C-alpha cells in the first residue's frame, strides 16, 4: 500500500502494533515505533502510520518520554494549530455548561486531559479563579493558546498555573508555577457546592486546591450520616465532614496529618449554618489514629477513608495494595456493627475489581462481614473516555459492616 503523502514528519509503527492507535487510544508508547522519518524536534506535530504506510492518526512527539506521541486527532484533514486548541477548549467548556449535574455549583473541572481531547491539560474553575495544570510537552507547547482561549471563553478574574511536577519529570520538561492572568486572590477562594460553602486555597492546597471529583460522593455518603457518629479520615478540608453535619450527623471527627488542612477544615465547618453536630479535629497520622481506635475499642457509625494516591505506577501496585488493605482492615475494626464504611482509592493503576478484592481481604483479616451497598466513581466533570479507560481513576465502595 502506498504511504499517504504528508507535510508532517512520519512515525511508522512496527507490524502488529497499531491496534491501540486504531482504537483511538491517545497514548503511543516508544516501544511500538519502527522508524521516524523527517527528523522532528520534540514538540513537533507528526503523522502516525501503520507498517503498511496507511495513515492512522496525528499527534505531538516527545522522543525523551516513554509516551512518545500524544495522539490528538484521527481525522487526516484536521490540522493541529491554534484553531485546533481553541476549539478543543471551547468544546470542553460547552460540555460543562450543559451538564445538569453541575447545576448549583460554582466550582468545576473545565478540562480533564485526554477525556477532553487535551492530553496533559487540567483546568479547574473555582468561582472564576482558574487553575491550569500542565503535565505534557504537548500541552506546554500550546500554553499561550490555552490561556487565551480560557480568558475569552470564561472571563476569569485570574488564571494560576500549578504544573504537575511528578508527571512532567517523565516528559523531561521543567515545571513552572505562578500567575498567568489577572490578580492573585488575597486569600482562600469561597465556592458553593450544593448550598454548602467552602474555602479553597488554589495557590497552596493539595492538587489544585479542592477535590472536585468527590462532589457527588460526598452527597451520597452523607445520606448515611443522619444521627451518626462519623469518623472522617484523611479529612483535608473536611468536605465529607461538612456534608455529614449538614445531613444531621450527631458528631464528626476530622483526622489529618496537616495542621494547615485542619485549620481550613475548621473554617469550612464554621461557614455552614449552625447545627447540633459536635465537631472535633485530630492532628494525627491516619494509620496511627485508626490503630489507636482499634487498641482502645473505639468505634463509629460511619467511617470515611479517602486517602491520597498510594500508587503512581504499575511498579507500585503491590506496595499500595498492602497499604490499602492495612488501612481498610483497621477501618473495618473502627466501624460499629450495622454501620457504614465508605472507602476510596484514587490510584488509577488499581482498578475497581482489584480494589474490591483488597477491601474484601481487609474485611476477612478484621474478622468482619460486609455488604457492598453502593459503588462510587468520579464526578461527571471528570468524564471517562471509552477509548482511554485509564481516565477512570477514582473508585469507592460504601459497605455496610455486619
Which residues participate in catalysis according to the annotation? 346
Q: Beginning with the edge strand found earlier in the chain, give each strand of the sheet holding 229-233 in spatial order.
A: 278-283, 251-256, 229-233, 300-305, 335-345, 395-401, 370-377
Q: Tell me the C-alpha distance between 67 and 362, whole Å.
A: 35
Looking only at the bridges linking them, the beta strands covering 395-401 and 335-345 are antiparallel
Looking only at the bridges linking them, the beta strands covering 177-182 and 158-162 are antiparallel
Close Cβ partners of 384 (under 8 Å, ≥ 6 residues apart): 115, 377, 378, 391, 392
Looking only at the bridges linking them, the beta strands covering 177-182 and 251-256 are unpaired
Amino acid at each position: 500500500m502506498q504511504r499517504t503523502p504528508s507535510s508532517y514528519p512520519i512515525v511508522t509503527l512496527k507490524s502488529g502494533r497499531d491496534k491501540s492507535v486504531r482504537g483511538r487510544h491517545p497514548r503511543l508508547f516508544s516501544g511500538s515505533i519502527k522508524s521516524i522519518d523527517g527528523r522532528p524536534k520534540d514538540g513537533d506535530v507528526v503523522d502516525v502510520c501503520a507498517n503498511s504506510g496507511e495513515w492512522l492518526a496525528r499527534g505531538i512527539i516527545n522522543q525523551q518520554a516513554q509516551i512518545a506521541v500524544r495522539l490528538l486527532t484521527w481525522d487526516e484533514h484536521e490540522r493541529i494549530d491554534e484553531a485546533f486548541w481553541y476549539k478543543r477548549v471551547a468544546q470542553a467548556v460547552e460540555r460543562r455548561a450543559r451538564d445538569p449535574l453541575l447545576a448549583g455549583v460554582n466550582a468545576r473541572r473545565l478540562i480533564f486531559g485526554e477525556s477532553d481531547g487535551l492530553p496533559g491539560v487540567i483546568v479547574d474553575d473555582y468561582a472564576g479563579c482558574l487553575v491550569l495544570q500542565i503535565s505534557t510537552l504537548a500541552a506546554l507547547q500550546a500554553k499561550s493558546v490555552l490561556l487565551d482561549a480560557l480568558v475569552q471563553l470564561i472571563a476569569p478574574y485570574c488564571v494560576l498555573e500549578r504544573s504537575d511536577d511528578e508527571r512532567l519529570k517523565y516528559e523531561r520538561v521543567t515545571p513552572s508555577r505562578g500567575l498567568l492572568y489577572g490578580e492573585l486572590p488575597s486569600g482562600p477562594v469561597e465556592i458553593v457546592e450544593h448550598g454548602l460553602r467552602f474555602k479553597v486555597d488554589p495557590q497552596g492546597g493539595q492538587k489544585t486546591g479542592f477535590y472536585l471529583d468527590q462532589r457527588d460522593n460526598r452527597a451520597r455518603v452523607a445520606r448515611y450520616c443522619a444521627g451518626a457518629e462519623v469518623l472522617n479520615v484523611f479529612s483535608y478540608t473536611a468536605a465529607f465532614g461538612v456534608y455529614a453535619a449538614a445531613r444531621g450527623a450527631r458528631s464528626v471527627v476530622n483526622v489529618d496529618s496537616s495542621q494547615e488542612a485542619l485549620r481550613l477544615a475548621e473554617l469550612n465547618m464554621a461557614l455552614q449554618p449552625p447545627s447540633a453536630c459536635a465537631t472535633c479535629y485530630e492532628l494525627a497520622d491516619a494509620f496511627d489514629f485508626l490503630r489507636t481506635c482499634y487498641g482502645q475499642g473505639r468505634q463509629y457509625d460511619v467511617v470515611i477513608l479517602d486517602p491520597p494516591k498510594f500508587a503512581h505506577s504499575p511498579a507500585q501496585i503491590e506496595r499500595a495494595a498492602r497499604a490499602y488493605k492495612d488501612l481498610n482492615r483497621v477501618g473495618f475494626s473502627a466501624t460499629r456493627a450495622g454501620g457504614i464504611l465508605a472507602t476510596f482509592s484514587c490510584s488509577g493503576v488499581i482498578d475497581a475489581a482489584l480494589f474490591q478484592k483488597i477491601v474484601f481481604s481487609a474485611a476477612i483479616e478484621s474478622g468482619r462481614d460486609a455488604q457492598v451497598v453502593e459503588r462510587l466513581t468520579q464526578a461527571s466533570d471528570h468524564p471517562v473516555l471509552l477509548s482511554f479507560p485509564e481516565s477512570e481513576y477514582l473508585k469507592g465502595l460504601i459497605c455496610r459492616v455486619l
